[in-house]
Chains A and B, each alone.
Chain A
Amino acid sequence: GQQLNQSPQSMFIQEGEDVSMNCTSSSIFNTWLWYKQDPGEGPVLLIALYKAGELTSNGRLTAQFGITRKDSFLNISASIPSDVGIYFCAGVYNTDKLIFGTGTRLQVFP
């Protein structure tokens, strides 16, 4: 079945550093979504990507839709303590269903 692999699995960084994470799939997707989940909460949408090669920003976050349509990347610049959480990519299939990646757990130290 389909599976989305995210790397790294976890990151421990210093406040102010930049962060890069990626998501790869064995299948092609036409839409990629990036979510963040804080402890005790549901996932919150960060960025949506709809076109191969697309680069989209949301404040300090930038995400890219890979050219092959089998991968996506998320960058966070100048990390701050509130960036702590789990970041999930998700691919849309069957027009309305999401398959989630394995997640990247981010820890930011002051």
Chain B
Amino acid sequence: SAVISQKPSRDICQRGTSLTIQCQVDSQVTMMFWYRQQPGQSLTLIATANQGSEATYESGFVIDKFPISRPNLTFSTLTVSNMSPEDSSIYLCSVEGGADNYIQYFGAGTRLSVL
């Protein structure tokens, strides 16, 4: 399984600002995924990020609000733009397990509170 590091682990931000979350993997992976977990809720896929191409966003999520970068096979960032209190959530990145068949491995998440 892959080892995934996310930074920051938590942050408290002011309304209207932006936060960039980093996700680093200890091995090269083709696909990385970003999820949102609202308080007390399940995980919802925001977008899929492949290296060298534009991220693919799920219904209800747009690039202007959640721009994603994928500069190489071990790193990705998610920016939460123009934040409001409704953006307070845990944001998690995951990577596919490669030969493990559809399995995804998750980072510990970034706990974001917006005041």
Residue count of chain A within 8 Å CB distance of chain B = 23
User: Among B102, B107, B108, which residue has its beta carbon within 8 angstroms of that of A40?
Assistant: B108
Shortest beta-carbon distance, B11 to chain A, in Å? 14
CA of A35 to CA of B100, assembled, Å: 15
Assess whether A48 is in contact with B102, with CB atoms less than 8 Å apart.
yes
List of A residues within 8 angstroms of B96 by Cβ: 96
Give the interface residue-count category, chain B: 20 to 34
User: Among B43, B94, B104, B109, which residue has its beta carbon within 8 angstroms of that of A41?
Assistant: B109
Assess whether A88 is in contact with B43, with CB atoms less than 8 Å apart.
yes
CA of A101 to CA of B41, assembled, Å: 10
Assess whether A43 is in contact with B106, with CB atoms less than 8 Å apart.
yes
Assess whether B102 is in contact with A102, with CB atoms less than 8 Å apart.
no
